[in-house]
Chain A
Amino acid sequence: MIEIFRLEFMQNAFMAGTMLSLVLAVVSFFVVLRRLSFIGVGVAHSAFGGVALGALLGISPTLTAIGFAVAVANAIGYIGKQGKLSTDTAIGIFFSLSMALGVIFIGMSEQYNVDLFGYLFGNILAITRTDLVIIAVLGGLVLASVFMFFKELLFVAYDREVALVSGMPVAFLDHFFLTILALAVVISMKIIGIVLVSALLVIPGAAAAQITQRYVSMIAVAIVIALISTIGGLFISYYGDLASGATIVTLASAIFFITFAVSQIRK
Chain B
Amino acid sequence: MTSQPSVELAPQQITLEGISPRILAGLRIVGAAALVIGCALGVAWPDGIPLFFRAYLTSFCYVLGMVLGSLLLVLLLHVSRAGWGVVVRRLAEVLAGHVPLMVILFLPIVLPLLWGSSSLYEWADRHAVEHDELLRHKAPYLNPVFFTIRAAGYFLVWWLVARFFLETSAEQDSTGDPRLTNRMERASGPAILLLGLTVTFASFDWLMSLDARWTSTIYGVYYYSGAFVGAVALWILLAMGLQASGRLKEVITVEHYHDLGKLLFAAVVFWAYIAFSQYLLIWYANIPEETTWYRDRQTGAWLYVSLALVVGHLVLPFFGLLSREAKRNKAILGFWAAWLLVFHWIDVSWLAMPGLKREGSPWGPIDLCLTVSLVCFYLASVLRRAVERPLVPLRDPRLAESLAFENF
- The answer to whether A binds B is no
Give me the interface of B with A, judged by CB distance under 8 Å: none
Give me the interface of A with B, judged by CB distance under 8 Å: none
